[in-house]
Amino acid sequence: MFYKDYDNAREPLTAVCEKNDGFQCFRLAELYQQGRGGPVDLAKAAEVYEKSCANDYPEACERRSDMAREGTGTPQIELEFAKKACAGGRPAACTRAGQQLHAGRGVEADLTQAIEMYQSGCKLGDIDGCTGVGDLLFSQDSADAKMRGVNAYINACVGHSAYGCFKAAIAFHDGTGTKRDVAKAEQHFAKACEWQIDDACHVVKQLSASGGKPVELELTTKVAELGAGGLQARDMACRMVEQGEPALAKVVAGVAKGKDSLDSCAKEGAALAVRWEFEDGKLLQAKVVGKAPKKVKECVAYVLRKKAKFSHSGACSAVFLVGDPDGAAKSLAARANAPADDGRVHVRMSAEDEE
């Protein structure tokens, strides 16, 4: 009788909750959390969610964990109730517990437990759990761990994770954690490309142009902040055969060969977004993108053409801090920063698409 009568529901729900009805306690906690039928009372909501959780209502455990993560409670409470929710079959809670243990956010980092939590989430159908456990296992040295990591990526791919498809494709191509299978690699790269992973689309073209011959995959490495040769770069990304931060540092050092001239392009200081491509050590093109005076854009492109030195091939983008350091810092602060991208694209499919 009080299912939609929020104004008068607190009292009857309280009476039923006192009889240890987990579901009704959950509904009562929602009223306190949302301010229905009375003022918002987060402390009371947390208390009643805990009671609901104790009476075998896993969604309440998850909700209590969420509240702790949002500030009503400690990281320890967040993890405690995420684990309880996971044990009750809540897949996202398993994954969030794995993420917290993986990062050591407010608790001691524990990769073994993180793997267990991610794995539980994956088994319950959470694709972020699959990619999480895939990353942790695949980064280990043992052949068994890498094999399990590949299987997790495959499960993520089946669950429509473009990132999972992409990582599985690399494993099949390189024969890491699984038998080398170029045909399966091509299939997984194609699926990841279909789901908007740019590197996958690039590799599809690489493999198509190779005529069946072995190729070294050109993949993207990203780093938020990097300095070399006196030049500072932010939000840098390079697609090259060489991967990792040391490879990017070499590229920055190559650009830094013209640092003094770059500083002269914008003496008052600027944070300039630049894209450039090079092949066999030769610069193919370079340009400043976004807002900047035409003279500055032309100057930077000229300096890169004349003074930058590279020893390999690639395509890069970065925000370079040039000119007066204080001015460059102010320019950087003024830039609109896009949300961080973990590269994990998941595609939610309709029932029709599944068929």
Task: Delimit the CATH 1.25.40.10 region(s) of the chain.
Answer: 129-210
CATH classification of 129-210, choosing from 1.25.40.10, 3.30.2320.50, 1.10.10.10, 3.40.50.740?
A: 1.25.40.10
Report how far apart, in Å, the C-alpha atoms of 189 and of each of 126, 197, 200, 207 are.
22, 9, 5, 10
Q: What is the pTM of this model?
A: 0.80
Check whether 162 has a pLDDT greater than 80.
yes
Residues 6+ apart with CB under 8 A from 41: 32
pLDDT digits (tens, 9 = 90+) for 11-65: 999 999 999 999 999 999 999 999 999 999 999 999 999 999 999 999 999 999 9
**Residue 293 structure tokens:** 């005076």
Q: Residue 212 — very low, low, confident or very high, per pLDDT cuts 50/70/90? A: confident
- Residue among 313, 148, 355 nearest 216 (CA): 313
The secondary structure of the chain in percent helix, strand, coil, rounded to multiples of 5, reads: 55, 15, 30
Rounded CA-CA distance 174/176 in Å is 5
Length of the chain: 355
pLDDT for position 7: 75
pLDDT of 4 over the 90 cut: no
